Amino acid sequence: MVTKLDIDCLVIILEFLQDSPSSLFSCALVNRSWCKNSLPILWRNPWHDSIIDSIDPIRRRRLLISKFIATLPTSSKSILIKNKIILPPPIINPIFDYSIFIRYLNLDALKLTIKSWIYDSNSPKEFHGVICPQITIVARELLHYFLKKSPSIHSIEAKYGNDLLEILLEILLSNPDSRSRITDLKELICHGALKVVPTFFSEISRISKGIHRLIIDPYQDTDHLATLIKSQKNLKEITIGHSYTSPISTSSREAVLSALSNSRSITLLKIKYMYFPLIHLSNLVNLEELSLQGFGKREVMNEIWEPLLNISMLKLKKLFISSLFTNANLEIFSKFIQNSPKLQELTIRSSRISDPENSKLLLSSISQSCRNLVRFEGPIMDQNVNELSQLLFSCPNLSFLYLHPSTEYYFMQDQMNFDDLLKEITRIQPPRLDLLKIARGWKFSGDLIGKFLESRKQLGKQICLYWSQSISTTDRLDEIVKKYYDEGVFIHYNRNKYEDVDNYLNQSISSKPFIKKNLF
């Protein structure tokens, strides 16, 4: 009979807990073997949100920096003392040198933890006069040590801390050994407007050739980004977000677009508030996720979408389109969907639709081509009952349904009637539907919501239900909703003011404790 868990199996299990530091910490307390294998995973990313944003974040940050400083060499400690930085009580022979485990460098989180630690070490009276130079001094010593002890850094994140990015760049330029630590860099998340970014991009381009994930948000005009993209051998995911306070030159943008279109290994592309000629998508044959957020260009109208008519994306699984300046064209979207048969998630948001009557065509294309659809958010007209029925029957895995009224102007005064659509959803009761969101611009009957919820109760299927606060309803809706909430029909519900469903979706996933009664 096996009495001990095989070490290889243990490590595999512990890896599944990498996003749950509290669980890893508990595992580390089991015995010496578990501790030895848990701590490298726990400390590879000590800046994890669940550590930094815990119940007692100040104490967590203080302990984090104290442990790192305890392992610094005497020369570094002397520099801190010389600059009037109060060191933590000495730890005799620390069991681990935690810097060896670090694989993630989050410069913003590092600065925050150092600031909290210094504040805790000084009286408030002393704090305000010395904090800025002291943060820089501590950060420099820690970064030097991290890049000396860690065998490999896999991720660097710097969104706001220009001073720490400058220190990191200084270390890379002056110390050849430190450069060897980032040759296996897999992820770079950076605020493109930081002043040292061009030099930093240039250095990373020479050192790191295997970046898989690149997030530059906001993107600022620099040709070095194009060089960085071109230098990567297997770039998988890229996000570029533009800030309107930072104009982009045509030549710089074209260089970046050219680099992107030639990166055939890309599987995820997110463009945020930045014009991206869609003709460049034709080369991205391995794309699985495409997000165009706040997309469009004031000078270009419907023709912006025309390249989609001639592009087939056979591997595309997720499509997110949010058009900010240009009208959405449902006919073009419908034809593009027909050429993307593996779609599992589809989101279409627009304040203006040039051909709202083609919501019928859109729904029919989804039914015919996207049998594996799990999530749909998009426009529909009140008379598209048959098309909705066809979609619900054709997509048995559908779990997320968020319906907008298909109209030329989204912020219209006259509301469409949602009753017939709601009756059809109630009649069919999609087997896996667990979230229904009704956007602004609709009106519906409270009694029909009651029938929908009663049907869910009879089937023993819970639901997340959200509707816009601006929706017109009749009858005693609040009373009906409360009744079924008390009976445990809801996973979660909310009459919200805003149209961004993502925050509510995240709430619904973790909202089981809100259930008062469980049907099952």
Q: Are the C-beta atoms of 363 and 393 separated by less than 8 Å?
A: no
Q: What is the model's pLDDT at position 89? A: 73
Report which of residues 66 and 145 the model is more confident about. Answer: 145
Tell whether the model's pLDDT for residue 2 goes beyond 50.
no
Q: Which residues contact 134 (CB under 8 A, 6 or more apart)?
A: 83, 84, 85, 118
Tell whether the model's pLDDT for residue 126 goes beyond 60.
no
Within 98-237, residue ranges assigned H as helices are 107-121, 124-149, 162-174, 176-180, 197-207, 223-231
Report which of residues 129 and 510 the model is more confident about. Answer: 129
> Tell me: the pLDDT tens digits for 204-237?
999 999 999 999 988 876 788 899 999 999 999 9
Q: Which amino acid is at 358?
A: N
CA distance 456 to 464: 11
H or E segment to which residue 409 belongs: none
Q: Domain for residue 6, yes or no?
A: yes
Q: Which amino acid is at 510?
A: S
| pLDDT grade for 411, boundaries at 50, 70 and 90 | low
Q: What is the SS3 assignment for 483?
A: helix
| pLDDT grade for 42, boundaries at 50, 70 and 90 | confident
Q: Domain for residue 34, yes or no?
A: yes
Q: Domain for residue 31, yes or no?
A: yes
- In the 8-state DSSP scheme, what is residue 501? -
The total number of residues shown for the chain amounts to 520
Tell whether the model's pLDDT for residue 190 goes beyond 50.
yes
> Tell me: the pLDDT tens digits for 480-517?
888 998 898 988 777 654 444 444 444 433 333 333 33
Task: Please spell the DSSP secondary structure of 218-235, one letter per residue.
Answer: EE-S-HHHHHHHHH-SS-
CA distance 387 to 390: 5
Q: Are the C-beta atoms of 439 and 403 separated by less than 8 Å?
A: yes
119: left (phi over 0), alpha (psi -120 to 50) or beta: alpha
Q: Domain for residue 286, yes or no?
A: no
Q: What is the model's pLDDT at position 496? A: 58
Q: Are the C-beta atoms of 64 and 46 separated by less than 8 Å?
A: yes
Q: Which residues contact 338 (CB under 8 A, 6 or more apart)?
A: 365, 368, 369
Which among 220, 211, 171, 168 is positioned nearest to 191, based on CA atoms? 220
Percent of the chain past pLDDT 90, that is, above it, reads 45
Q: What is the model's pLDDT at position 509? A: 36
Q: Domain for residue 447, yes or no?
A: no
**Start-to-end CA span in the chain (Å):** 37
Element counts in the chain: helices (H) and strands (E) = 20, 17
| pLDDT grade for 14, boundaries at 50, 70 and 90 | confident
Q: Are the C-beta atoms of 352 and 408 separated by less than 8 Å?
A: yes
Tell whether the model's pLDDT for residue 378 goes beyond 90.
yes
CA distance 339 to 333: 10
Q: Give long-range contacts, CB 8 A cutoff, 24+ apart: 114-118.
A: 114/65, 114/138, 114/139, 114/142, 116/57, 116/58, 116/61, 116/62, 116/65, 117/61, 117/62, 117/64, 117/65, 117/66, 118/85
Q: Domain for residue 89, yes or no?
A: no
Q: Domain for residue 386, yes or no?
A: no
Q: What is the SS3 assignment for 153?
A: coil
CA distance 455 to 279: 47
CA distance 63 to 327: 53
> Tell me: the pLDDT tens digits for 256-314?
888 888 888 999 999 988 778 898 899 999 999 999 998 876 555 567 899 999 999 99
CA distance 233 to 231: 6
Q: What is the SS3 assignment for 125?
A: helix
- Looking at the structure of the chain, the number of domains it has is 1
Q: Are the C-beta atoms of 323 and 295 separated by less than 8 Å?
A: yes
Range in 71-80, 89-98, 495-504 the model is least confident about: 495-504
* Structural tokens at position 322: 């949010």
| pLDDT grade for 474, boundaries at 50, 70 and 90 | low
Q: What is the model's pLDDT at position 173? A: 94
H or E segment to which residue 241 belongs: strand 237-242
| pLDDT grade for 115, boundaries at 50, 70 and 90 | confident
Task: Please spell the DSSP secondary structure of 12-58, one letter per residue.
Answer: HHHHTTTT-HHHHHHHHTT-HHHHHHHHHHHTT-TT-HHHHTSSSHH
Q: Which amino acid is at 21?
A: P
How many alpha carbons fall within 13 Å on the CB side of residue 356?
A: 19
Q: What is the model's pLDDT at position 57? A: 63
The DSSP bridge pattern shows strands 268-272 and 289-295 to be: parallel
Q: Which amino acid is at 315?
A: K
Average pLDDT, the chain: 83
Q: Are the C-beta atoms of 353 and 326 separated by less than 8 Å?
A: no
Q: Are the C-beta atoms of 120 and 71 separated by less than 8 Å?
A: no
Q: Domain for residue 33, yes or no?
A: yes
Tell whether the model's pLDDT for residue 174 goes beyond 90.
yes
CA distance 145 to 175: 12
Range in 49-63, 368-382, 449-463, 499-513 the model is least confident about: 499-513
List of E strands, 284-344: 289-295, 318-323
Q: What backbone phi and psi angles, to 5 degrees, belong to 204?
A: -65, -35
The DSSP bridge pattern shows strands 104-106 and 268-272 to be: unpaired
Report which of residues 49 and 70 the model is more confident about. Answer: 70
Rounded to whole angstroms, the maximal C-alpha distance in the chain is: 77
Region 329-333: what's the mean pLDDT?
Answer: 95
CA distance 211 to 1: 45
Cα-only R_g, the chain: 27
Segments forming the whole domain that contains residue 3: 1-42
Report which of residues 242 and 124 the model is more confident about. Answer: 242
Task: Please spell the DSSP secondary structure of 425-438, one letter per residue.
Answer: HHHH--TT--EEEE
